[in-house]
Amino acid sequence: MVIKYPNGKSYSPQKKTLEKVKNKDYTYSNRGKTLEDEINESNEYYLQQGRAVIHKKPVPIQVVKVEYPSRSAAVIKEAYYRTASTTDFNGVWQGVHIDFEAKETQNKTSFPLKNIHAHQIDHMMKVIEQKGVTFLIVRFSSINRYFLYPFQPLKIAWDLMIRNGRKSIPLEEFEKQGFEITPSAFPRIDYLKTVTKMLAQESV
C-alpha cells in the first residue's frame, strides 16, 4: 500500500504498527516486520522502475523431515529457523553492489545493538573490503523516524560494546552520523536516494 500526502502532513503508521503488534504475537523474531514490508515495497518499486535489483534473502530454515503425499507438493513436517550469517537485503544498483540490514526498535532514544549479530558485522566488513556498499537502516517506530546508518560508525559502536562499552547507539548519533530518510510517496522508503547522499559525502 502506498500512502499519499494530499495535505502535506507526515504520515504516521504507528496505529497500524500497534495493531499488527497486537494481532501478530509480537515476539523478538517478528520485530522489524513492518519496516521489512516497507523496504520490500520500495524494492519492488525500484525493480519496476528499472532503478535497482535488490531483494530480501529468504529466511534460512533447516529442514529435518519432509513428506511426499501422492499427487501433491512436498510438505515440510519438521524444520527449524537458523541464524542468518549475512545481512537481509542485497542486490545491484547501477553497477554498485548494495548489501544492508534493516531493523526497527520501539526505543525512543537509542538503538540496542543486540539487534545485530557479530557475524553480520563481520559480513559487512568483508563487503566493504570487496568495494560493496553496506549500511544499516533503522526505524525508530515510536517516533516514526528512519535513518540510514553507515557501516563505519556502526563498527565503532560495535567495537566499543565488545570492550564493555555502551550497548546501544543513541538517537543523537543517528542524527549526527546517520542520514535521515524522510518517507515519501513513491517509493515510501527511498533509501537509494539516501545512499547517493552518503556516497557523495564520503567522496568529499
Binding site for a second copy (CB under 8 A): 29, 47, 50, 52-53, 55, 57-61, 63, 73-81, 85-86, 90-97, 99, 123, 126-127, 129-132
Smallest gap from Cβ 152 to a second copy, in A, equals: 18
Smallest gap from Cβ 42 to a second copy, in A, equals: 16
Smallest gap from Cβ 92 to a second copy, in A, equals: 4
What is the Cα–Cα distance from 89 to 86, expressed in whole angstroms? 9
What is the Cα–Cα distance from 127 to 43, expressed in whole angstroms? 20
Name the residue with cell 519496476.
48
CB 161, CB 167: distance < 8 Å: yes
> Which cell goes with 189?
522508503
Q: Measure the CA dihedral 92/93/99/103, to 10°.
A: -130
Q: Which is nearer to a second copy, 79 or 143 (CB)?
A: 79
Question: How do 110-112 and 89-93 pair as beta strands?
Answer: unpaired
Q: Which is nearer to a second copy, 133 or 189 (CB)?
A: 133
Q: Which is nearer to a second copy, 123 or 139 (CB)?
A: 123
Smallest gap from Cβ 16 to a second copy, in A, equals: 23
Q: Which is nearer to a second copy, 47 or 156 (CB)?
A: 47
Smallest gap from Cβ 8 to a second copy, in A, equals: 33
Q: Which is nearer to a second copy, 2 or 53 (CB)?
A: 53
